[in-house]
Structure 1
């Protein structure tokens, strides 16, 4: 297996290894969802998914309930969702999604990381055109008639379905069809394990092992920042 493949595995393990980071991310997703649509998940589809994502990282129910209560209070912190674009070393395009209560701090930190690790922070739109904005839902691949499910969901915006090693099905849709596919899954009584919006590169860059190491350093430092929610890039991870 190549270094990029090892990196992909290590990156995935690292992402879920830090419980504190995961809980912080889940809490901010809940806070943003409550601010957007209220504290009742029955009437707030984004909050339903935020709660499901929190459960997926083993966030205790007490923590979830407390996060909703905090977000509902008049003194609740307000988080802004900000996206940054730039380049890692060797021309790798990077999109960084953040949720922050202090945009000045966040942009300063992100700019510093890009600069320190051989990259450069760009302007809005500088790399976005290299990616497609997709929604991805993870559902259990147990007792599911895959072909029938696919037929049922095509009219709800399903674009692609992939089986994953973890025993899940990944269902992809265009960003604009995210809500429609969510509604379709609910109508079919399919429990969603997790759901998120991702940036899928239209093409990838293949690097040498040494170049991959350079990019990893920058990506890892970005993911360690407390305001960073997701990091996407177009480095080839399949080799």
Structure 2
């Protein structure tokens, strides 16, 4: 299992589903509000907001919740969120990029540092690991969107740079400045994407053994439980055999 997407690698596990669902909705709502505040409150006129709404729909967020999140951006008395990126290392020496949206940077820094230190990780200085990742656009489609050949041909025609297909779905990679143009070109052919976002793709992967993998997943869970943390990207790769042992 490759480790570049928090939602792909953490949400696999059973447990407190209601808590996870509420936490996911909180993150999605925050992104919608920030996107609406930064641009037009109309998804058709605001590429980041459109991507946030699509992600919210894919996550099962009710329409009323989405509309309330957009309306929050119109008020002047709401919390002001800022985007802060943290970089560091997890168990097994894997590189992690942690993206947050926060209205209290001191709280977020403390919580992220605590999660890292308690679970075998450590924070680095800005730029400590991002040099080993490429900043790209990522468009995600479910496996039901079509076979790998169909997706590859459609993505190539739309101007994408790469396609990675698996039983879980399809990931279409673009230059970051071409993300929304490619996404719009694909929609008439493949339908609405599950997700459209800027992403960090690792240049090389690190194989993680069973002991480190177990500790790494605890760290990712701890970060995922923090409402300020939006996405965690990493260069870890866990074999199917290790995943089966960990359950």
**TM bracket (short chain):** 0.7 to 0.9
The structural deviation recorded for 1:224 is 1.3
| Residue pairs, 1:10-89, within 5 angstroms | 11-14=10-13, 17=17, 18-89=20-91
2-structure distance, mates of 1:145, 1:210: 36
Name the counterpart of 2:243. Answer: none
Name the counterpart of 2:198. Answer: 197
Q: Cα deviations across residues 16-55 of structure 1 (Å, max 9, x unaligned)?
A: 9411011011101101110111211221122112111111
Task: Detail structure 1 runs of 4+ shifted over 6 Å in the superposition.
Answer: none
Q: Which runs of 5+ in 2 are unaligned?
A: 241-247
Name the counterpart of 1:158. Answer: 160
Q: Cα deviations across residues 165-206 of structure 1 (Å, max 9, x unaligned)?
A: 24x432121323213212322465732222222222111222
Quick one: higher RCO (CA 8 Å, sep 6+), 1 or 2? Answer: 2
Q: Cα deviations across residues 198-231 of structure 1 (Å, max 9, x unaligned)?
A: 2221112223211222222222211111111111
SS in 2 for 1:48: helix
Kindly indicate whether the alpha-carbon contact (under 8 Å) linking 1:157 and 1:174 is maintained by their aligned counterparts in 2: no
The Cα RMSD (Å) is 2.8
SS in 1 for 2:174: strand
The change in CA–CA distance for 1:237 and 1:135 in structure 2 (over 3 A counts) is farther
1-structure distance, mates of 2:151, 2:9: 32
Name the counterpart of 1:221. Answer: 222
More off after superposition, 129-138 vs 93-102: 129-138
Q: Cα deviations across residues 62-109 of structure 1 (Å, max 9, x unaligned)?
A: 111111111221223221111100111332211101111111110111
TM-score by length of structure 1 reads 0.85
1-structure distance, mates of 2:228, 2:61: 19
